[in-house]
Structure 1
Amino acid sequence: MGKSSRDKRDIYYRLAKEEGWRARSAYKLLQIDDEYGIFSSDQSSNCHLFCFPPSTENAPLERVVDLCAAPGSWSQVLSKRLWESKSPKDKKSVKIVAVDLQAMAPIPGVIQIQGDITSQDTAQQIIKHFDGKLAQLVVCDGAPDVTGLHDLDEYVQSHLILAAITICSRVLELGGTFVAKVFRGRDSGLLGSQLRLLFSGDVSFAKPRASRNSSLESFVVCRGFMGPRLRTDLKPSTSFENHSSNDSLLLLWYDKDNFEDVNSSQQALLPFIACGDLRGFDPDVTYTLDPDHIVKPPVQVPVDPAYSEVCRFSRLNQSNTSKFQSLEKNNEIDNNDDISRFTELMEKLSFDPREDHL
């Protein structure tokens, strides 16, 4: 496939390169914000009557966590919307923390943590960067490598959401907002019922315009975090004393009984909201390119991606194969030369037996 082919097929991929975004997913977060206003100062105010009040009502949004952040397009959006527009004095109070297992190129105004979102140590690092305070907004655009088996993809993605919710129990303030990618399937209503146990405000599914219609991808937007439902039979002094801080032990703290009590017959019918201008670009449409269109490279190539080792071995294998083929060819030429020289020598040494008899 040529470089210009994807520019034709994916308008948001082309726009992302032209406007300086690292990935097309930046438009998804922008469209969610346009619909829900999650970046506004009163983003925690849509809670119901029984929502725990946020620690600072109508306070400006200053503490945000981006989980599974690489390659960094959502962190770019957070930086531009919450940090770049501030004065030098106000920039100091804005803390944006991006977390991912993979390394990521630096982004202005974004603090990076290369770690596991299920680790207790990662949660402690986030709170440390917030000077002991908790996050007002947590976003997560992470997803596993899709297999094409929708039920399996939905199942694996639900576990990633559980990991994100688990770290939220330690880093998200009361009344905070949570946004995460989901794969909507037959059990998506069950996920909604479980999330309503943790959020007293609006819980709904959002489908950004930049997300393809053919994709199961959507995003769940949850407001009014009610605080962690922690297990009462565990104490920090006893439950963690025999474990490393890098162990994935945050799940031990979650009281899963509330989740297990929700069965398939109690699935919630959540609102499904289309985000973005319907008159805008359609990601499923192929757009023609201008005659003078110049294909631009990606804004930022991945930093030490997981597949780099595979690519290195693949190139090494191709190189070794070429060398082996070249060696075989040279050996074949040498063998032919040896046969020719041997034949020539035999011709010189050949004699007629009758002449020898005479």
Structure 2
Amino acid sequence: MGKTNKDKRDLYYRRAKEEGWRARSAYKLLQIDQQFDILSGVTRAVDLCAAPGSWSQVLSSKLNSSTTSSAKIVAVDLQPMTPIEGVTTIQADITHPSTLQQILDCFENELADFVCSDGAPDVTGLHDLDEYVQHQLVWSALQLATCILRPGGTLIAKIFRGKDIDIIYAQFAKFFERVVCAKPRSSRGTSLEAFLVCLNYKPILHWTPKLINNQSTSEFFAGANLMGAATKTATTVGANHEERAIVEFIACGDVNDIDSDASYAIDGDFKRLDPVQKPTAPPYKTALEMKRRGELARR
């Protein structure tokens, strides 16, 4: 979060800076946990697509709140991330087999209780494209989760709700006893963003997930009979259709809390706060360096 962001009138944004969170997204995980109590008893947690680290901050705060706590938290992202106390940071690709082994090494080859992913692509404004890329991130998170999550564990993953999201619901429901679509109050109502809350992981019988480099998602899940699976409906006998499902939709957070879509006035004595964590590798950094060297020319 910067000092002159266009969201400076967003009270979640302002509250996050005041309370020391790296991003307003911290409240999304806090409100999901408030609703589902997903972090109770968790001793090994993995935060995928973690940068800048607000969800890792929440995990560290919740799981290491007592002096007797021995929770292990691993944060993974392609981008570098400034260290957080109580969190092991891995700069790596979540789809690469070596990343899986690094996580297991941190857990001394024990399986995780909790996996979360708040990752999202750079939005283009082309909704079908954005939804497709986001779904690929969700599937990548599930790939890794099936390899490191213990039976009975929990997965939280950001999704973009679109016309085919019910296919995702149906396929994820094969791996978990309960799948819920959660919308935290801190998530803007005008956004298609929501979160899959997948409870009580149940491994597929006679299928052993194995990450292989350069393997497609379809190839990975082929043995689980998910991707491209055809079903027959009573109304279209003989026709092939993707299996679909409807899941619970639950709004998380106090109804009397801040409205994330509202624009609030700034008081006269308002004081700008420095970012909790400055960007470690901003995308514009290379362009600025080239400009200083005179390597950028107007076209």
The alignment status of 1:6 with 2:3, answered yes or no, reads no
Change (3 A) 1:122 1:265: closer
What letter corresponds to residue 64 of structure 1 in structure 2? A
Instruction: Tell me, in whole angstroms, the C-alpha distance in 1 between the residues paired with 2:162 and 2:262.
Output: 24
Instruction: Tell me, in whole angstroms, the C-alpha distance in 1 between the residues paired with 2:267 and 2:230.
Output: 54
1:24 corresponds to which residue? 24
**Does structure 1 conserve the Cα–Cα contact (< 8 Å) formed by 2:184 and 2:251?**
yes
Change (3 A) 1:4 1:217: closer
Percent sequence identity is 47
* Structure with a larger share of its residues in strand: 2
1:257 corresponds to which residue? 225
Q: Please report how far the alpha carbon of residue 113 of structure 1 lies from its aligned counterpart in structure 2 after TM superposition.
A: 0.7
Match of 2:60 among 52, 60, 79: 79
2:100 corresponds to which residue? 123
What is the correspondence of 1:229-248 to structure 2 with a 5 Å cutoff? 247-248=213-214
Instruction: Tell me, in whole angstroms, the C-alpha distance in 1 between the residues paired with 2:262 and 2:226.
Output: 44
Instruction: Tell me, in whole angstroms, the C-alpha distance in 1 between the residues paired with 2:220 and 2:207.
Output: 6
Match of 1:300 among 277, 282, 285: 277
Name the SS for the 2:276 alignment partner.
coil
Match of 1:135 among 83, 106, 112: 112
Q: Please report how far the alpha carbon of residue 320 of structure 1 lies from its aligned counterpart in structure 2 after TM superposition.
A: 7.8
User: Which range is displaced more, 255-264 or 146-155?
Assistant: 255-264
The alignment status of 1:217 with 2:193, answered yes or no, reads yes
Q: What's the TM-score, normalizing by structure 1?
A: 0.74
**Does structure 1 conserve the Cα–Cα contact (< 8 Å) formed by 2:187 and 2:193?**
yes
1:69 corresponds to which residue? 50
Change (3 A) 1:319 1:257: closer
Name the SS for the 1:266 alignment partner.
coil
What letter corresponds to residue 268 of structure 2 in structure 1? P
What letter corresponds to residue 69 of structure 1 in structure 2? A
Deviations 1:165-212 (CA, angstroms, capped at 9, x unpaired):
11112111111100000000000111000001111x210100011111
Name the SS for the 1:305 alignment partner.
coil
Name the SS for the 1:202 alignment partner.
strand
* Structure with a larger share of its residues in helix: 1
**Does structure 2 conserve the Cα–Cα contact (< 8 Å) formed by 1:67 and 1:142?**
yes
Change (3 A) 1:118 1:320: closer
Alignment gaps of 5+ in structure 1:
41-59, 241-246, 322-358
Name the SS for the 1:7 alignment partner.
coil
Q: Please report how far the alpha carbon of residue 317 of structure 1 lies from its aligned counterpart in structure 2 after TM superposition.
A: 4.1
**Does structure 1 conserve the Cα–Cα contact (< 8 Å) formed by 2:228 and 2:242?**
no
**Does structure 2 conserve the Cα–Cα contact (< 8 Å) formed by 1:205 and 1:219?**
yes
The alignment status of 1:206 with 2:185, answered yes or no, reads no
Deviations 1:126-183 (CA, angstroms, capped at 9, x unpaired):
1111111000000000011111121111111111111111111211111110000000
Which structure would you say has the larger Rg? 1
Instruction: Tell me, in whole angstroms, the C-alpha distance in 2 between the residues paired with 1:315 and 1:168.
Output: 44
**Does structure 2 conserve the Cα–Cα contact (< 8 Å) formed by 1:135 and 1:176?**
yes
Deviations 1:203-243 (CA, angstroms, capped at 9, x unpaired):
010001111111110000001111256757x9x8xx97xxx
CA RMSD of aligned residues (A): 2.4
Tell me the matched-pair count. 285
**Does structure 1 conserve the Cα–Cα contact (< 8 Å) formed by 2:181 and 2:195?**
yes
